[in-house]
Amino acid sequence: MNFPVISQENLIKKLTPPSSSKKIRMVLDTDTFNEVDDQFAIVYALQSPERLNVEAIYAAPFHNDRSEGPEDGMEKSYDEILRILERMNVPSDNFVYKGSRGFLDDLHNPYRSEAALDLVERAMNSSEDDPLYVVAIGAITNIASAILIEPKIIERIVVVWLGGHALHWENTKEFNLKQDVLSAQVVLDCGVPFVLIPCMGVTSHLHTTLSEIENFVDGKGEIGSFLAERFKEYHEDHFAYSKVIWDLSAIAYLINNEESVPTQLVHSPILTDQVTWSFSSSRHFIRYAYYVNRDVIFKDMFKKLAEASIDKS
């Protein structure tokens, strides 16, 4: 597969964290029913209109004990997105799109889902000087499929992905990545401007507890009560228990990047078929998150939930 070559100068320019004065155009790709953190990320993005213009939400496939297979996971994620939007009084028409029915297994046969085709169209209508940010917090199948359908979109997008583990980790068998290794390899290898936010070793301390949820989320409007219910029912025993909500980090990077999610330029790692990281200084650059400021992120989200509930009361 041949991809356009972005010069190092242009690549580094597009990888510069967005200015705090700039409103960011973005789409969100999410396996929403997989856990409870995607729900928080959707709400956080939609309640940050001062910074983010969310143009579309894509349902991503997933397969674990909450789905019968990747297609079922995508359908359940789509339905969960609709439930969230209904509680936030956000219309879903021409805003939410179904994604891939499975995971990528052939570079010559990408999934031409509603989500992938919408991303191609939206990206090609974007300017190279004002790229569309594609925030992915699930398996990256939809984004890889869009790139394979129209490789030119890599010149007009910036991909921000919560996936894999830290580069120093023993392996990178993280849920989002290991479900679709081929798609992750496509995105890492194609040269698209890419921001990698790892799980274990970086965002793995982005935890909250039932006490915090009850104090700062529950009762903060219909959507706050919905998030609290999802959090409570996810785990049976909340005694001395905390839950990582790491998907928030991908949204926080765009809202308040250097304070919330500091990053550095590194050469794009090589994802091996053994699902480990390998390295070469001959590779193109990506931006890599090496830390998240847990308190800054949760404080911002809790404040926005409270403010939104006051505005609607």
In this prediction, residue 269 carries a pLDDT of 98
When pLDDT is cut at 50, 70 and 90, the band that residue 69 belongs to is: very high
Report pLDDT digits (tens) over 274-286.
Answer: 999 999 999 999 9
The Cα–Cα gap between 226 and 277 comes to 38
Domain ranges of the chain: 21-204+246-300
In this prediction, residue 313 carries a pLDDT of 58
Residue 191 φ/ψ region, left for φ over 0, alpha for ψ in the -120 to 50 degree band, beta for the rest: left
Whether the pLDDT of residue 126 is over 90: the answer is yes
Q: Please, is 106 exposed, middle or buried when counting C-beta atoms within 10 Å of its C-beta (0-12, 13-18, 19+)?
A: exposed
When pLDDT is cut at 50, 70 and 90, the band that residue 122 belongs to is: very high
Q: Among residues 153, 116, 130, 136, which one has the least CA distance to residue 25?
A: 130
What mean pLDDT, rounded, does the chain reach?
A: 96
Q: Please, is 202 exposed, middle or buried when counting C-beta atoms within 10 Å of its C-beta (0-12, 13-18, 19+)?
A: buried
CB of 27 closer than 8 Å to CB of 126 = no
Report pLDDT digits (tens) over 218-273.
Answer: 999 999 999 999 999 999 999 999 999 999 999 999 998 789 999 999 999 999 99
In this prediction, residue 94 carries a pLDDT of 97
Residue 195 φ/ψ region, left for φ over 0, alpha for ψ in the -120 to 50 degree band, beta for the rest: beta
Report pLDDT digits (tens) over 90-102.
Answer: 999 999 999 999 9
The Cα–Cα gap between 144 and 271 comes to 15
**For the whole model, what pTM was predicted?**
0.97
- Which CATH superfamily does the domain covering 21-204+246-300 fall into? Ribonucleoside hydrolase-like (3.90.245.10)
In this prediction, residue 312 carries a pLDDT of 67
Report pLDDT digits (tens) over 129-138.
Answer: 899 999 999 9
When pLDDT is cut at 50, 70 and 90, the band that residue 78 belongs to is: very high
In this prediction, residue 285 carries a pLDDT of 98
Chain centroid to Cα 300, Å, comes to: 18
> 156 is written with which tokens?
């007009």
Question: b/e for 122-132, b at 16 or more Cβ within 10 A?
Answer: bbeebeeeebb
When pLDDT is cut at 50, 70 and 90, the band that residue 58 belongs to is: very high
In this prediction, residue 20 carries a pLDDT of 80
The Cα–Cα gap between 180 and 139 comes to 6
In this prediction, residue 310 carries a pLDDT of 82
